[in-house]
Amino acid sequence: MSMDFNLKFGNCPIYYTISKIEGKWKWVILYKLYRCKVIRYNRLWYELQPIAHRTLSKQLKELEADGLVHREQYNEVPPRVEYSLTEDGETLTPILELMSEWGERHINPKQKVSDHQD
């Protein structure tokens, strides 16, 4: 007899975190916002290509709904929209830094091995 997934994992902090930041692009979006502090939508889209506009828009809306991203719209012509991390979003920065450091160490392990053999 299988246990209901939410009953089993509903109170798990790792499951909760992953459920808020799941998807191929959310961590990358958060990292870009962390590095840039404030970024306009078109610049963010350009930085993240090949992401589709629809995907970026959807992911940003989800991150905003979860309280991790702030969206500021300026009533100008042409309209300007900027994104930044909220206070809750900024609490993820140590994780983002660790993920970046881990990636740097592991992105090209063959090169690193040959570098250490000199």
* pLDDT score for 1: 40
Helix (H) / strand (E) containing 69: strand 69-74
pLDDT tens for the chain, residues 1 to 118: 445 767 777 788 888 888 889 888 999 999 999 999 999 999 999 999 999 999 999 999 999 999 999 999 999 888 899 999 999 999 999 999 999 999 999 988 766 544 545 4
Question: In whole angstroms, how far apart are CA 60 and each of 4, 42, 69, 79?
Answer: 30, 13, 7, 17
Domain of residue 13, CATH code = 1.10.10.10
> Is residue 20 classed as helix, strand or coil in its secondary structure?
helix
* pLDDT score for 16: 83
**Residue 52's domain spans which residues?**
5-116
Q: Based on the structure, what is the number of domains in the chain?
A: 1
Query: Do 71 and 83 form a contact (C-beta atoms < 8 A)?
Result: yes
**97 CB contacts (<8 Å, ≥6 apart)?**
none
Query: Do 86 and 68 form a contact (C-beta atoms < 8 A)?
Result: yes
* pLDDT score for 4: 72
